[in-house]
Chain A
Amino acid sequence: MRVATSQMVSSGLALMLRQQREIVHLRDQLATGRRLLSPADDPPAAARVLDLDATMQRIEQFKTNGDVATSRLEQAESVLAGITDTVQRVRELAVRAGNTHLTNADRRFVAAEVRQHLGGLIASANARDANGEYLFAGYQTRAVPFTRDPAGSVVYNGDQGTRLLQIGAERFIADREPGDHVFMAIRNGNGIFVAAPKAGNVGTGVIAPGSVVDAAAYQPHAFRIVFTTPDTFDVIDDTIATTVLAGQTYVEGTTITFNGIETRIEGAPAAGDEFTVAPSDNQSLFATVAALAATLEAPADTPQAEAALAQGIARALVDLDQAVENLLATRATIGARLKAVDDQRQVNDDLELQLASVRSRLADLDPVEAAVRLSAEANALAAAQQAFVRTQGLSLFNFL
């Protein structure tokens, strides 16, 4: 085979150029730590890396959302804990006010403290988060949720919206509770029914809150206990206009049983006095506390007024119990959400770690392998250069 002189140069040169290109590529890979310098280096891997980056950014965002949710839920939890304490304190005051040794003036002091607590409760229910948004306002986070209307009762101006934050690909968590669930929609009485004296009773009968003893027999009907004489009473189901019990003998403090419930009446009812037993309504925490204050502020100078005081305190105690129960239930929900955010964070962390390792396998350079290859390529280039120079020196003309 003939070899043209120019061919010896150009083929040697082409070889060296190719080796140099490989070396530059390796050098760039080593300098950046990236295996993929361009999508063309490994197109499926490059597309996958872009996907992984986007997914990891999303997970990062889910973690941020989780942090936001945690901080808001923790704040709501701490506000609700404070409110629970206040309600407990109000309950203690109610129990103390029930002490018959207190004078009207003593009770007014207690009532003043209850009113203080009422103001505190409203302020707490209007708590705001770090952004100045109300915690218990539903969607209307920029409007004061709890205000007093002209009549002095507290109204809720928010709505029932619950805001969800995305903390996982398929996982959403509410970052707040609408205020009416927490403070307004509290079942009054014992939570199932309310036992109350009819306004205008002339006797001193006081009815106990009662309880359901036979859930199967219970029907949500409105009943009336009507005293035909101070010693006898009828029980009438107003919902279906039926007399359930007739001509019952009244013995103070004995249990009255009908419709699967038990209650009892103490004191001395007068003929024509009536007591109602009706299914519970929603009553706000504020209304309960305000009613307690009003009860305590009324002077108890007559036996009827004393009976009203006893009745009012008994009622306030069950209503407060319902409020506490509702607060605890809300706090349990919040606690469960905090736990869920925590669990999801763990899931997100694991997933992120997993994706990062896949990404690293696809996109990151094995520096040892690359360094070894670089030195091998550099050696090959040095050899090629040497060979090139040696062969270029060979010429017959040197000997002429």
Chain B
Amino acid sequence: MASLFHIGISGLLASQRALATVGHNIANVNTEGFSRQRVELVARPPQGFGSVFEGRGVDIAAVRRVVDSFVDQQVRTSVTDEARARVQHELSAQLSDMLGDPTVGLAPALAAFFNGVQDLAADPASTPARQALLGEARTLVARLRDQAGRMSDIAAELNARLEVAVAEVNALARAIADLNRDIVSALGTAQGGPPNDLLDQRDLLLNRLAERTRISVVAQDDGAVNVMIGKGQVLVAGGTAQRLAVVVHPLDASRRDIAVDVNGMQSVITGTLEGGEIGAVLAFRDELLEPARNALGRIAVTLAASFNAQHRAGMDLDGNAGSDFFTVAAPEVLASPANAGAIDVDLDGNAIGDLTTATYELTYDGADFTLRRLADGATQTLAGAGPFTVDGMVITVTAPPAAGDRYLIAPVRQGARDIALAVGGVRAIAAAAPVRARADLANAGQAAVSPPEIVNPSDPALLTPVSLVFDDPPATFRIDGVGPPLPYTSGADIDVNGWRVRIEGAPAAGDRFIVEPNAGGVGDNRNALALAGLQAKPILDGATATYQEAHGALIAEVGTATQQGAIARDAFAALAEQARAARAEISGVNLDEEAANLLRFQQAYQAAAETIRAAQTAFDALLRALGG
């Protein structure tokens, strides 16, 4: 009888616990990271009576969560990929929308500016046309500076985002370490029964951590987990967590690195972090934002430098030689504070088309300088003392270097930010050429002279009047009628004093062609035409791309990255969704299932209660029989 009581009570208790677990599952149906729990029951060891073993009821072996650690691992990996793809797409879409906007983008401003130059060419003496061109130039400069400013804003946002993400990683690592401690001690006191809800919490935190960066999780025998980031850098070991810090790049103050702080020693691990929000921010910064900023800067620098060169070959409304039209941004050189030497980097005016969108690292090993392109790692050795002419830059050593000197050179990064209008007003726009040519009115021959082309605007004798006088017979000519006779070929280039003319046709003996300063030539538009011609001239990328084509390439590159980012975002979102579905299939709460279990355990509870009543009835019957 007593055993039936005990059996009945054990059944009651088991059902109670099972019902409580069902209730717990139902209560947590919408709890993030919750794994459904199940009561594991075992039959108590039987009692032997001679040849008979009598059952003794039921024991609660454990309450376990239903999980598959392999699926959990998959969820973590997919969450890392999903977060990276999502954040990277979000950032590149921001950049792409900014660059590609058809109304506020660079392309319309560039086209309008060159239309302004064409209008000037049509009306070189007109003040309104000059005013309009200055207006268009201001718009173009503002557009470039605005876009550069927005890219700087994005870069600053990225730095802030890294700060926040690293702070979150530190908080999560701390919380995981704390949970590790709690779990280890709970396992110790519970004699093997798992602390299910603590484990769920820890898994949830690991998933949150995996959204920031890729982690690898190694379970320990005592129930704790160790967490590694990057290339095996330990973030959490048992109950202790390492601290990450965001540090300023030693050369480039606008750049942030992520370092791990070990006993006050900071070692930079930026390059090893990938995946998650942090990986996305770093990849976007280095693979899209910086190249885009350099590409935009390069357009600005090339435009300003080539436009200036042509503008200097002209003459303004007051008869003065043209000056710079734009201010060209100087290459950015970031020197390590430990450097012994010093360098100067200038743009190479003769090879402006060789400028690349790269950022370079220049190091000195005691014998030679080595220039490394950061984007692709390509290096070249610069032997000798310089100046070194490379990739559209001229690097001049201004103080003797020592081994270990290090510089970062960004030749065009600030090109768009620092471009400005330099021309001194409407009258200073050099639409005319400084010299003109004429055939003497007394010429008897039929030869004609072309308008002079300016080959070298800085020739000191550029403005010296020169006559080309034909000899008799007119197969040769002399400069100013003196000097050695020069052979005449119709249509051949005649280069004197920095200008070039061509004489075509049959001159007569004694015919004179005069090249003289273009005094009063306010109606001359030759330089304006040459300036307008720059729009269609391939200048960038080694004289293969126009400004507009270089800009189109930038748009296409950012657009492609964004498009691929969208595809990756959707793909990884689907994969993460699948992984979460797989986990939910195993660990998620199904209310119908719980309802069924509720019925089941309710019935078992009622039956167990009946068992006790049966024992009671049997006991009463015995008492009645004895008491008669």
Residues of A at under 8 Å CB distance from B? 1-7, 10-11, 14, 38-44, 46-51, 53-54, 57-58, 60-62, 64-65, 68-69, 131, 133-134, 137-143, 159-166, 169, 172, 175, 180, 184-185, 220, 279, 281-282, 395-397, 400
Contacts and interface: CB of A to CB of B under 8 A. Distances in A.
Nearest to A397: B595
A85 to B, nearest CB: 26
A359 to B, nearest CB: 11
Contacts of A175: 122
A325 B416 CA distance: 58
A169 B536 contact: yes
A152 to B, nearest CB: 19
Nearest to B115: A61
Interface in B511-560: 518-526, 529, 532, 535-536, 548-549, 551-553, 555-560
Contact of A141 (B97, B523, B553): B523
A161 B592 CA distance: 95
A172 B593 CA distance: 84
5 contacts: A46-B555, A50-B548, A139-B520, A169-B536, A175-B122
Contacts of B121: 65, 165-166
A232 B108 CA distance: 83
Given A43-B563, A140-B520, A54 B548 contact: yes
Interface string B376-413: 00000000000000000000000000000000000000
A131 B535 CA distance: 27
B444 A220 contact: yes
B588 interface: yes
A180 B548 CA distance: 42
A46 B100 CA distance: 8
Contacts of A169: 536
B487 to A, nearest CB: 23
Contacts of A43: 555-560, 562-563
B93 interface: yes
Contact of B441 (A39, A138, A282): A282
Interface string B563-603: 10110000001000100110011111111110110110000
A123 B603 CA distance: 121
A65 B122 contact: yes
Contacts of A185: 441
Contact of A39 (B115, B442, B558): B558
Contact of B555 (A47, A159, A165, A184): A47
A400 B595 contact: yes
A2 B108 contact: no
A236 to B, nearest CB: 21
Contacts, number: 213
A53 B114 CA distance: 13
Nearest to B31: A6
A5 B30 CA distance: 8
Contacts of B518: 139, 159, 161
A57 B119 CA distance: 13
A396 B126 contact: no
A44 B591 contact: no
Contacts of B126: 131
What are the 4 tightest A-B residue pairs by CB atom distance, in nearest-first order?
Answer: A4-B588, A141-B523, A39-B559, A43-B559
Nearest to B127: A131
A395 B437 contact: no
B439 interface: yes
Contacts of A166: 118, 121, 529, 532
A395 B595 contact: yes
A279 B444 contact: yes
Contacts of B451: 161-162
B155 interface: no
B348 interface: no
Given A4-B584, A139-B432, A139-B521, A51 B552 contact: yes
B545 to A, nearest CB: 11
A133 B536 CA distance: 29
A134 B521 CA distance: 12
A301 B549 CA distance: 81
Contacts of B591: 5, 395-397
Contact of B521 (A44, A161, A184): A161
Interface string B146-173: 0000000000000000000000000000
A373 to B, nearest CB: 18
A367 to B, nearest CB: 19
B246 interface: no
Chain B's interface size range is 35 or more
A254 B354 CA distance: 78
A285 B259 CA distance: 88
Nearest to B117: A61
B137 to A, nearest CB: 16
B123 A68 contact: yes
Contacts of A62: 118
Interface in B420-438: 432, 436-438
Given A54-B110, A131-B126, A140-B522, A4 B585 contact: yes
Contact of A5 (B29, B123, B441, B549): B29
B588 A6 contact: yes
Contact of B556 (A44, A54, A134, A160): A44
Contact of B548 (A39, A51, A220): A51
B112 interface: yes
Q: Which of A2, A4, A64, A220 has the most chain B CB atoms inside 10 A of its CB?
A: A4
Q: Which of B438, B523, B526, B557 has the most chain A CB atoms inside 10 A of its CB?
A: B523
B75 interface: no
Nearest to A281: B442
Given A141-B523, A161-B451, A40 B529 contact: no
Contact of A400 (B115, B437, B599): B599
B96 interface: yes
B66 to A, nearest CB: 10
B102 interface: yes
Given A40-B566, A184-B441, A142 B559 contact: no
Given A2-B593, A7-B581, A165-B122, 7 more contacts: A5-B29, A14-B573, A40-B93, A50-B548, A51-B549, A54-B110, A397-B591
B355 interface: no
A248 B10 CA distance: 161
A48 B522 CA distance: 39
Given A7-B584, A279-B444, A48 B563 contact: no
B223 interface: no
Nearest to B513: A160
B556 A47 contact: yes
Contacts of B111: 53-54, 57-58
A4 B590 contact: yes
A163 B556 contact: no
B588 A159 contact: no
B105 interface: yes
B429 to A, nearest CB: 16
A14 B107 contact: no
A264 B523 CA distance: 48
B125 interface: yes
A172 B590 contact: no
B18 interface: no
Interface string B93-105: 1001101101001
Nearest to A284: B441
Contact of B592 (A57, A61, A180, A395): A395
Nearest to A142: B522
Interface string B117-137: 011011111100000000000
B125 A141 contact: yes
Nearest to B437: A160
Contacts of B535: 58
A139 B524 contact: yes
B64 to A, nearest CB: 16
B453 to A, nearest CB: 13
A54 B113 CA distance: 11
A93 to B, nearest CB: 27
A158 to B, nearest CB: 9
B523 A40 contact: no
